[in-house]
Amino acid sequence: MSNSRRNFLKISSLAGLGLASTQGLAFDKSGSLMLKKPVMGERFNMSGYSAAKIDTVRVAIIGLGNRGPGAVERLSYLEGVEIKALCDLREEKTKKAAAQLEGTKHNPELYYNNPFAWKDICNRDDIDLIYITTPWEWHTPMAVYAMESGKHAAVEVPAAQTMDECWLLIETSERTKKHCMMLENCCYDFFELLTLNIARQGYFGEIIHGEGAYIHNLIDLNFSKTYYENQWRLVENAQRNGNLYPTHGLGPICQVMNINRGDQMDYLTSLSSNDFTMGSKAQDMAMEDMSFTEFAPNHFRGNMNTTMIKTKKGRSIMVQHDVSSPRPYSRIHLVSGTKGIARKWPGPPKIAKDHKWLDDDTFQSLQKQYMPEIVEKVGDMAKKVGGHGGMDFMMDWRLIDCLRNGLPLDQDVYDAALWSAVGILSEQSVANRSASIDVPDFTNGNWKTNTPVNVSLKNGGNTRVILKK
C-alpha cells in the first residue's frame, strides 16, 4: 500500500471521528501524516487512575498478522474475557485466527476486506477493550478512535510515531478517562520483574544507571515480501534514522528508575552509525527483483543507534537499537546502583554485590526471596501458554486482572507517550549531529508525586487461568 493510500485512510478515519479536519493535518517530507499538537484543556492525571470494574472484559482484536493471533490464543485462556470481534484486512488471516477459538466459549464476529472495518468495531456498544496489533503507523489513530468511542485501548509498541501523536494520545486519554496501555511485554519478563522487585526492596541501593536495547537481526524478515504486510517495516527502516524501536529495552529500566513516577527524563542525545548492510542487500535483491529498486538508492537507517538520556535526578540511561547486523539477540537490561547491579545479557542473568557476581546458590536463594507475586501466581502457567517465554501471557493476564478489579494499570498513557517519544527525539538528535534534545514532561509535573509501579496483586489477582479451553 502506497504512502498516499495509507495517509488517505488515516485522514479519513480521524476526520470522520471529528477529531481533526484536513486543516489540522499536514505531511512531512517523506509523505507521513503529521498531527498538530492538541490544545490541552484542564488536565486530568491518568497515573494511578482506577476505572470502573469490568466483570467480563469484552475484547476486540485488530490486526491478525504476526502478533494478533498470539493475543487471540492467550486471551482465550483467561476467565472473565469474551472475545467479541476479530479484524484484519485479509480474510484468510481473520478466519485462521478465528479457527484458534473453535471449541471454546468465544464466538467472535469477523471483520475483513474493509479498511474501515476497525471503526465499525470501535462503534459497537458491546466491547470494553480494543487490542491493537497493526503496523506502527495505525497505532495512534486506532487507539484514539477507540478511546473516543468509549473503549479502553491496548496498543502494540511503539504507541506513537510523532510528537503530535504522543500528545494526542494523552489528551484523548485524559479527556475520555479511558486507559491507553502500550503493550510493552518486556516489562513482564521474569528477570525484569525480579530486578524491579529487588530494586523496590533497596537491594541495589540508589539507582545510578540503566541500559536497555533491542538488538535482533531482522534483516531477512524486513526484506521478506510475506512476513510484514507490504514490507511496512522495511519502509520504516528506509525512511527514518534513529532508534525506531526503543521500548523493549527502555520500559523495564524506566519502571526501575520510577520515570514518570518520582523521576523524569530531562534530555537525550543520539548517534547512529552508517548503514553497512541494508542498502547493499537492497541493491543485490534489485538485481533479481525490480520491485526492490525503490529501496536500493535510499539511505537506510544506520545499523547501530545509541541514545543516552539524563534524568531530572541525575541518573543516566543508555538504549541501543540494531536490527540489521549479525549480532546475537540482546536487550542488555542492566540496572546499576550504589550497592549492587543486575545484568541479563549476555546470559545467563546475574546479580552482583560488593563488586562480585553472586554464586549460583546465592542467586537462587535471592530469586526465591524476592520472587514477584505475579510470577508466583501465574508464572508456571505463563510458561505453558507461552508468548516470548511467558511474558506476553503475564502481560495479558495482568491487564485483564486490573480491568476486572478496577486497578490502575502498570503502564499508563504517559509511559506509552514517553517511551515512544524517545525514538522520535532520537531521530531529531541524529539529524542534528547528535545535538542534545529536551524531553517534554507529558505528566504536567505530576511525576513528582505519582506512585511508583510495583506490580502488586493487592485487591486483585483473582483472575483464573483455564488451560483446557
Residue 63 lies in a domain: yes
Q: Is pLDDT at 469 greater than 80 in this prediction?
A: no
Task: Give me the domain span that covers residue 117.
Answer: 51-183
Using the 3D structure, point to which of 160, 183, 206 is the last residue of a domain: 183
Joined grid coordinates for residue 170: 494523552
Asked whether 303 and 276 are in contact (CB, 8 A), the reply is yes
Q: Does residue 455 sit in helix, strand or coil?
A: coil
Distance of alpha carbon 419 from alpha carbon 160, whole angstroms? 9
- Arithmetic mean of pLDDT, 332-361: 97
Inter-residue contact 143 to 73 (CB < 8 Å)? no
Q: How many Å apart are CA 303 and CA 275, to the nearest integer?
A: 5
Peptide bond into 348 cis (omega under 30): yes
Asked, for residue 336, whether it belongs to a domain, the answer is yes
CB 360 within 8 A of CB 41: no
Residues 6+ apart with CB under 8 A from 400: 57, 75, 78, 80, 81, 463
Note the pLDDT of residue 468: 65
pLDDT at 7: 52
Distances (CA, A) of 461 to 375, 382, 435: 11, 14, 46
Tell me the β-bridge partners of 87.
Answer: 62, 111
Same domain, 209 and 96: no
Confidence of residue 24 (pLDDT cuts 50, 70, 90): very low
At CA 175, angle to CA 173 and CA 179, rounded to 5?
Answer: 25
- 156 and 297 fall within a common domain: no
Max Cα distance, the chain (Å): 64
Torsion over CA: 174, 178, 180, 186 (sign): positive
- Of 1-5, 224-228, 333-337, 388-392, where does mean pLDDT reach its minimum? 1-5
CB 216 within 8 A of CB 323: yes
The pLDDT score that the predictor gives to residue 40 is: 81
Indicate if 176 and 192 belong to the same structural domain.
no
Q: Mean of the pLDDT values across residues 139-155?
A: 97
Helix H segments across 106-189? Answer: 117-122, 139-148, 163-176
- Report how many domains make up the chain: 2
Query: At 136, is the secondary structure helix, strand, or coil?
Result: helix
Is 43 among the domain residues? no
Classify residue 145 by burial, with Cβ atoms within 10 Å: 0-12, 13-18, 19+.
Answer: buried
Q: How many CB atoms lie within 10 A of CB 120?
A: 13
CATH number (domain holding residue 231): 3.30.360.10
Q: Do 158 and 260 belong to one domain?
A: no
What is the CATH number for 176?
3.40.50.720
For residue 71, the model assigns a pLDDT of 98
The C-alpha atoms of residue 242 and residue 439 are separated, in whole angstroms, by: 15
What local confidence, expressed as pLDDT, does residue 48 receive?
Answer: 97
Q: Do 169 and 236 have their domain in common? A: no
**Cα(61)–Cα(72) distance, rounded to whole angstroms?**
7
pLDDT of 380-417, one tens digit each? 999 999 999 999 999 999 999 999 999 999 999 999 99
In whole angstroms, give the CA distance from residue 233 to residue 240: 11
Q: Are 296 and 170 members of one domain? A: no
Residue 448 has pLDDT above 90, yes or no: yes
Q: Do 154 and 261 fall within a single domain?
A: no
Backbone angles phi, psi at 251, to 5 degrees: -55, -55
Note whether residue 402 is domain-resident: no
pLDDT at 28 over 50: no
72-102 pLDDT, tens digit per residue, is 999 999 999 999 999 999 999 999 999 999 9
Residues 6+ apart with CB under 8 A from 92: none
Buried b (16+ CB within 10 A) or exposed e, 57-89: bbbbbbbbbebbbbbbbbbbbbebbbbbbbbbb
Same domain, 179 and 225: no
Q: Is residue 17 part of a domain?
A: no
Please report the sign of the dihedral spanned by the C-alpha atoms of residue 290, residue 296, residue 298, residue 302.
positive
pLDDT at 118: 97
**pLDDT of amino acid 36:** 56
CB neighbour list of residue 289: distance below 8 Å, 6 or more residues apart: none
Contact 461, 401 (CB under 8 A): yes
DSSP 187: G
Residues 111 and 230 in one domain: no
Read off the pLDDT band of 27 (50, 70, 90). Answer: very low
Q: Which of 31-35, 206-210, 236-240, 274-278 is predicted least confidently?
A: 31-35
For the purposes of burial, counting CB atoms within 10 Å of the CB of 468, is it exposed (0-12), middle (13-18) or buried (19 or more)? exposed
Residue 301 lies in a domain: yes
Whether pLDDT at 243 is above 60: yes
Task: Kindly state whether residues 338 and 218 are assigned to the same domain.
Answer: yes
Examine the domain organization and report whether 123 and 206 are in the same domain. no
Instruction: Mark which of 183, 214, 249 sits at the end of a domain.
Output: 183
- Residue 177 pLDDT exceeds 70: yes
- Asked whether residue 387 is domain-assigned, the answer is no
pLDDT at 391: 98
Average pLDDT of the chain is 92
Q: 416 and 310 share a domain?
A: yes
Domain end among 126, 158, 183: 183
In a domain, 90, yes or no: yes
Question: What is this structure's pTM?
Answer: 0.93
